[in-house]
């Protein structure tokens, strides 16, 4: 039996919708991830959300009046440059946390773009490895699946800062390269367990 993985993070219209698709998922006490359909004033108010990262790249999206916004204009495509938004997003999240605020990162479905930015916020702000950050966000929102282009950029970012070493590898030999974490989703490193307990 051969494994087939798609580089696209889109859902098929006939696929059953996962329960968390329309949920706002807590990654850390100060950090949440969601899809655009979940961005409702009542929900954000009840969770104490004060800051939002809008990665939908949709003109004139709805805004919640009591939230401060960072707009990240990026498409969910293999060629999109997500790397240039990693630091700005992480800084926005960190500044919100320093003020006692909470940040929601969202895109169209909360699967690829928002997942990528949330993962990198953990890597940059909290010292997670890329591998551990992926597992942390996956635990909160099991439908995440950054596209292959985003994975390449996240892996390159980590490798550039760690002597060429990255904690996630792209496995070849299939129709498209696959991040090795997709084949070991139950794996939790000691560092991950330590971070999760904080």
Tell me the CATH number at 135.
3.90.190.10
Alpha helices in the chain (DSSP H): 41-47, 83-98, 113-126, 130-140, 148-160, 190-196
The stretch 171-178 carries a mean pLDDT of 89
User: Is position 7 within any domain?
Assistant: no
Percent of the chain with pLDDT over 90: 75
User: Is position 132 within any domain?
Assistant: yes
- What is the C-alpha separation between 105 and 115, in angstroms, rounded? 8
Percent of the chain with pLDDT over 70: 83
The stretch 153-171 carries a mean pLDDT of 97
User: Is position 2 within any domain?
Assistant: no
Range of lowest pLDDT (9-13, 135-139, 159-163): 9-13
pLDDT at residue number 197: 44
Closest CA to 85 of 99, 96, 98, 70: 70
What's the domain range around 104? 20-189
pLDDT at residue number 7: 36
Are the C-beta atoms of 135 and 181 separated by less than 8 Å?
Answer: yes
User: Is position 157 within any domain?
Assistant: yes
User: Is position 118 within any domain?
Assistant: yes
Residue with the bigger pLDDT between 9 and 59: it is 59
pTM confidence score: 0.84
Tell me the per-residue pLDDT of 19-55, one tens digit each, with 9 for 90 and over.
Answer: 678 899 999 999 999 999 999 999 999 999 999 999 9
Residue with the bigger pLDDT between 56 and 194: it is 56
User: Is position 5 within any domain?
Assistant: no
Are the C-beta atoms of 119 and 88 separated by less than 8 Å?
Answer: no
Q: How many domains would you assign to the chain?
A: 1
User: Is position 42 within any domain?
Assistant: yes
- What is the C-alpha separation between 28 and 57, in angstroms, rounded? 25
pLDDT at residue 192 greater than cutoff 80: no
Are the C-beta atoms of 89 and 157 separated by less than 8 Å?
Answer: no
Buried b / exposed e along 24-40 (16+ C-beta atoms within 10 A) = bbebbebbbbbbbebbe
pLDDT at residue number 62: 83
User: Is position 8 within any domain?
Assistant: no
Question: Which residues are identified as catalytic?
Answer: 107
The stretch 46-69 carries a mean pLDDT of 93
């Amino acid at each position: 039996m051969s494994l087939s993985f798609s580089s696209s993070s889109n859902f098929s219209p006939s696929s059953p919708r996962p329960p968390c698709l329309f949920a706002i998922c807590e990654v850390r006490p100060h950090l949440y991830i969601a899809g655009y359909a979940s961005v409702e004033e009542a929900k954000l108010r009840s969770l104490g959300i004060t800051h939002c990262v809008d990665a939908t790249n949709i003109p004139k999206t709805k805004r919640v009046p009591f939230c401060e916004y960072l707009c990240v204009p990026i498409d969910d495509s293999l060629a999109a440059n997500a790397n240039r938004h990693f630091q700005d997003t992480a800084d926005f999240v960190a500044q919100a946390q320093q003020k006692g605020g909470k940040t929601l990162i969202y895109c169209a479905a909360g699967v690829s773009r928002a997942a990528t930015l949330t993962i990198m916020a953990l890597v940059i702000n909290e010292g997670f490895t890329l591998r551990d950050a992926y597992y942390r966000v996956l635990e909160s929102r099991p439908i995440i699946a950054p596209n292959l282009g985003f994975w390449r950029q996240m892996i390159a970012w980590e490798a550039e800062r760690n002597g060429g070493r990255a904690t996630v590898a792209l496995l070849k030999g299939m129709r498209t390269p696959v991040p090795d974490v997709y084949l070991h989703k139950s794996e939790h490193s000691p560092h991950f367990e330590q971070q999760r307990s904080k």
